[in-house]
Amino acid sequence: MLVSLADVARAIVSGVLIGSVYSLIAMGLALIWGVMDIINFAQGDFMMLGAFTTYWLLELAGLDPLLSLPVSFALVFALGVLTQRVVIERILQAPMVSQISATFAVLMMIRYGAEAAFGPFTRRVVTSYTGTVLRFSWTTIPLTRAIAFSISLVVAALLYLFLTRTYVGLAIRATSQNRMAASLMGIDIRRMYMLAFGIGVGVSAVGGTLLSTFFPIYPEMGGFFCLIAFIIVVFGGFGSIFGAYISGIIIGVTEAVSALFISPTLKDVVAFLLFIIIILVKPRGLFGARM
């Protein structure tokens, strides 16, 4: 099989586009981990809720995915705050096994709750522009993916501005770097936890909304995306939110290029291999810095 330069360029573009959606899910995971030292195994399932919010708002109210995006964020943010209050709050000081079990329990409730409510079927979000493509001399890009990429960039930029330019953002970062000192400066740690968890899963839901515009959705879809997000976060350096964004794109490109050169069925294997190599060579991840 001959692979032309244009094929590689196309693979890279498509990898960047899908990677930018992975990045959103991973950034949320990194935020939660960085602030609370909790690995949220339900991250992919909050993403799925974002996707289904978009689906139902389109089906029932005719709302365009771009308009349902803020709704999807807000709903899942609220659910995240509730999860923090009801579940996570109680296990913050618990042994790691209990923490894993607790977020895993949240995963089961969301995933199989959704399956019970919506059935196990695969659905598609279809809009007037679903089939539209942007034509370039050497490639075509589906409009939905281009939109997803642009919004992902905007969301990442907003998160960056929030964490570096606002008082609450500074307080969230302070909490992640030194809880005791933060509380002594007058920061309500519990409030920061609620915000971090809410924003962390909310950003993931935005990823779900964007994904749903070009990817079939089903209640169990969160599993793969949580795994990939986890790899991206470890790859980028735990707790580094912007490292997670870049790593998401690297993983997306790795998958797409290996699908081209090796086999589409093995694309994830290559991503996982790359992950293992990075962990062996650079155990703190590519970007060691904290948020």
Partner 1 sequence: MPMLEVSNLNVYYGDMHVLWDLSFSIEEHEIVALLGANGAGKTTTLKTISGVLRPRSGSIRFKGVELTKLPPHKIAELGIAHIPEGRQLFPWMTVLENLKVAAYTKRARSRLSESLETVYRLFPVLKERSSQLAGTLSGGEQQMLAIARGLVMRPELLMLDEPSLGLAPKLALEVLELVKTLRDEGYTVLLVEQNVHHALRIADRAYIIETGRIVKEGSGEELLRDEEVKRAYLGI
Q: Which residues bind partner 1 (CB under 8 A)?
A: 167, 170-171, 173-174, 177-178, 180-189, 289-291
Least distance to partner 1, CB of residue 189, Å: 7
Least distance to partner 1, CB of residue 199, Å: 18
Nearer to partner 1, 128 or 167 (CB): 167
Beta strands in the chain (DSSP E): 133-135, 140-142
Close Cβ partners of 198 (under 8 Å, ≥ 6 residues apart):
77, 78, 80, 81, 84
Name the nearest CA neighbour of 37 among 99, 118, 119, 113: 99
Structure tokens at 122: 């695969």
Least distance to partner 1, CB of residue 243, Å: 12
Rg (C-alpha) for the chain, rounded Å, is 19
Residue 196 · residue 40 · CB < 8 Å = no
Nearer to partner 1, 48 or 291 (CB): 291
Least distance to partner 1, CB of residue 169, Å: 10
Nearer to partner 1, 156 or 174 (CB): 174
Residue 252 · residue 17 · CB < 8 Å = yes
Least distance to partner 1, CB of residue 182, Å: 7
Structure tokens at 23: 């990045």
Distance CA 122, CA 268 (A): 21
**Residue 76: φ, ψ to 5°:** -70, -35
Nearer to partner 1, 187 or 228 (CB): 187
Nearer to partner 1, 176 or 209 (CB): 176
Least distance to partner 1, CB of residue 45, Å: 30
Structure tokens at 87: 């579940």
Nearer to partner 1, 133 or 170 (CB): 170
